[in-house]
Each structure stands twice: as structure tokens, then as C-alpha cells.
Amino acid sequence: MDRNESLIAAPFEGINEATANYDSLLSVLYDGVQAEQGFNPFLQRLQQLFGCRTATLSVRDSHTGQVVGGWYQDMPADIVAWYIAEMAWRDPLYLRAVDQNEVGFCSAHISNDVSMDDPVITEWCAQAGLVDGACAIVHRDQDTFTALTLGRAEEYGRFSMAELAVYNQLIAHVRRALGLRKLVQQQQSATALLVDALQTLASPIVMLDGTMNILFSNRAAEQWLQGNPWIQRQQSVLRFLSHRRQSAFIEAIHTLTCQTDSDGQKQDLAQVVMTLEAPTGINTGGATLLFAPVYRHRPEDGPVVMLTIYPWDANGLITRERIQQFFDVSDAEARVCEGLCQGCSLEEISAQLCREMSTIRTHVKSLYRKTSTNRQAELVAHVLTSLLRPGSELADLSVPG
């Protein structure tokens, strides 16, 4: 038996110690699910325990074999860049791992069909200081493969069948950890992006569950609530100074979270509008509250309502002049729409404008047609969201009819 054969047959001398530390290795692996460094600490520990020069988790395009991401522990950036540009897509060890019938590690020297004679491979091994490599596909889906690849330096010798058998025990754990990390990242990323987006909005936003508890409020909402004493935040609830307004608030939440049709299915409900006038003696303008249901894919998550607050004194943006200009409506129609946005009933608008109710209703129908809405609440919501969206104050031209 020559030297190469003996190295193949005899396992790395530290394998018993490595196996004894297997549980600690798995602990580091699963820590990578939420760690900022990802799986680099796991790869580093893997190197230490199994005498590897390199350890990488590479994510590759399943159609081209090109690297699209991953972790490259302790590998210089220039070497990683060279590998990705020159060799990754035709790495015979990776291709062997993809093509083999059974999931498991293959070694360049143990697998007879993995040639090390390619000049590019020779150059790669020389750059990385490797005499052997072992690779396994630990996860695959429709678009990507994730390969765990280990590299051996001369001082540790080549991989043995016994070592590959030990490495095979890692595959299921690595696959599970990768899946968990993807789920965690999707949830955290989506949540973080949503929170950041809501925080940047100028409009006060409050998210509530079906029991009226506050799940989230952005900075604009907190600032608005502090300056408006007729509605207060007390820990996780909103309390209105008026009992009638408190009742209307609860009714709005209940309407959007508890209503079902005759078959027990959730109704596709539109937004609910509630107006809020400042009580007598409080020198602050009123506001219109727009309640919108937030539909979620999983029923067990529970219903959520987004409350958007539109102050009537929002820099003078909700005025009959802007309504007339923005929606290309008549002056009389704009006056009616302004009254609706300020919470007035049709009867109150009729009295204020000294017009017959039939005339007011005609104006409302015309507003519906020109704004493509069908209900008063829908009309008010459309006007508020249009005039208070970012940049709308710069729109000096009327909308073409």
C-alpha cells in the first residue's frame, strides 16, 4: 500500500475528539440561524474539529452552477473572487456532488471520476494550499443548490471514508438550519422594512388588533396624540374623551374584524371613516380617522386594523380650493366634499351652504362619478389619501377630466 492509499484508508487522527465534540458543533450551527455572522462561526468550528484548511457554504444557481451567495470562512477575498470567476461553474467536485445518486460527501481523491489534473484545478489547489476536497449538496430547491465544501491541507492528509461518514451526519442539520435562517430572515426583513416605512410617513398611523389593543404606532401618531387631549394613549389602548366617540371607535374596529357573511367567511369590507371634532373649549382642530382592514394569510394570526389619522389643519391641504383643483370638480362640489371630510352630515352641509338636500345629494353623486367612488366613506378616504400623500402639496395642476 503506497502513501496515498494509506492516507485514504486512515482517518484524520483527531476524528475521535471531533466526534466527541459533535453536540457542541451542532450548537454553533443552530446559533447561526439568527446570528449576524450567519454560519461563519460554524464553519470555523468545523475547520478546527476536523483539521480543514477551508470550509465554505456556497449557494449556487441550479442552472448555471455559478455562485450567488454563501459563507467563505477564513478565505481571502481575492481567492474567493478568483474561484467564483474562473472555476465555480465547472468545479468537478461540486458537479460530482450534484450528480451522485445518494446525498452525501464525495472526495476528490476517493471518487475516481473526479479528476484533479485540470490545470485550473491545480492552480486553485495551489492558491488555497489544498491537497484534497470534500463536497456535499446539503440543500436544493428549484432555483439553487447549497454546497458544503471542505478543503484539506497537506499537514492533515486526504479525507478518509470514515471521515466522510461522519460529515454525512451533518447534512440534515445544515439543511434544517439553512431553512430556519431563511424563514427568520424573511420575517425579520419584512417586519423591519414595514416598520421603517411606516415610521417615515408624515401621516399618523396606528395598528390595532381585534380587541382594540395597539400593536404599533409611528412617530407621527405619537406626536399627534400628545398634542390632542380629546384622545389619549394609555399604555396599549386609545381612550376618547367623549363616550360617544369611544363607542364609535369600538364599533369601527368591530365592523372590520368580526363581521362574517352567511357562510361564516370574512366579508371583503371597505374602509370605515370616523370624524373627530375637538370638544368645546379645546383650541385644536379636528381630524378624520380612516380605519382599513389588514388581511393576513394565516387566520390564526388574528385580525388587524390600520388606523390613519388625517388632521383637518394638516398645513391647509384639505381645503375646497385644493379639492376643486386636484379632482377637477365644481366649486359647489368642492364645498360639499370639504364638509364631508370634516365630518359634517349632509343635513349640516345643506344648512351651512343654504342649499336644498336634493341639490347636496346631486353634488355627492357627481363627486362619486368624478372620483370613481360609491360611498361617502370611500369618497372621504380617497380624497384624504390623495391630498395628503407625499408630494401632493406640489400638485398645482388639476387632474384632467
Query: Given this model, what pLDDT does residue 184 score?
Result: 80
Q: How confident is the model over 337-386, as pLDDT tens digits?
A: 988 887 788 998 999 899 999 999 999 999 999 988 888 878 887 887 77
Mean pLDDT (whole number) for 56-85: 87
**Which secondary-structure segment (H or E) carries 71?**
strand 67-73
Position 45 pLDDT exceeds 70:
yes
> CA-to-CA distance for 398 and 173, rounded, in angstroms?
62
Percentage of residues in the chain with pLDDT exceeding 90? 19
CA atoms of 140 and 97, how far apart (whole Å): 12
User: What pLDDT shows up at residue 55?
Assistant: 92
- Given pLDDT bands bounded at 50, 70 and 90, which one contains residue 395? very low
Q: What is the pLDDT of residues 223-257, one digit of tens each?
A: 888 887 778 888 788 888 888 888 888 888 888 87
Assign 284 a pLDDT band (cuts: 50, 70, 90). Answer: low
State yes or no: pLDDT of 291 exceeds 60.
yes
Q: What pLDDT is attached to residue 394?
A: 38
Q: What is the pLDDT of residue 105?
A: 93
Residue with cell 468550528: 45
Name 206's bridge partners: 217, 307
In degrees rounded to 5, what are phi and psi of residue 59?
-100, 125
Pairing relationship of beta strands 237-240 and 67-73 according to DSSP bridges: unpaired
* Residue 343, phi-psi category: left (phi > 0), alpha (psi -120 to 50), beta (remainder): left
- Asked if residue 6 has pLDDT above 50, the reply is no
Q: How confident is the model at residue 279 (pLDDT cuts 50, 70, 90)?
A: low
Q: Nearest 10 degrees: CA dihedral of 142, 31, 35, 144?
A: -10
CA angle 207, 285, 382 (to 5 degrees): 55
What is the Cα–Cα distance from 4 to 60, expressed in whole angstroms? 32
- Can you tell me the distance from the alpha carbon of 396 to that of 95, in angstroms, rounded to the nearest whole number? 62
